[in-house]
Amino acid sequence: MSAVQLLYVAIGGALGAVSRALISHWMRGGFPWGTFTVNVLGSLIIGIVLGWMGAKTNAPHALRFLFATGFCGAFTTFSTFSYETLAMLDQQRWAAGLGNIALNVMLCLAATWVGIRLAIAIATT
């Protein structure tokens, strides 16, 4: 990856992280509406960017680094998960797509639970 491509990722990442923080701050409440909103918006944005790039042969590749990798990567990784899963299902790789869903949900929840338990154990010893 070139220095220019990394710069696009960094700029997009900074904008995505700030956008996520602002949305999460504005949408506080009993339900995690901020997280829900960034996951849906990020999935829409990555779909638009990568769908458009796939349809246009002359699309500037820098847009992928700026928006898909940078902005959406910092805004929400759920967008990448969604796109990659749909790509597998679109290729009729059913086991891989469904396995990706099951593994991500189960293992990420389990890893978070283990992390919380480890932190509590360390903090209380």
Tens-place pLDDT, residues 1-51: 899 999 999 999 999 999 999 998 999 887 788 888 998 898 899 988 888
- The structural domain count of the chain equals 1
pTM of the model: 0.74
Which residue from 45, 40, 9 is spatially nearest to 27, judged by alpha carbons? 40
Domain-embedded: residue 113:
no
Q: Domain for residue 34, yes or no?
A: yes
In a domain, 97, yes or no: no
- Residue 124 covered by a domain: no
CA distance 19 to 35: 12
Task: Answer yes or no: is 110 within a domain.
Answer: no
User: Residue 37 sits in which domain range?
Assistant: 3-76
Decide if 86 is inside a domain.
no
Residue carrying the six token digits 């389990």: 110
- Binding site feature residues for Na(+): 73, 76
Sequence ranges of the binding site? 73, 76
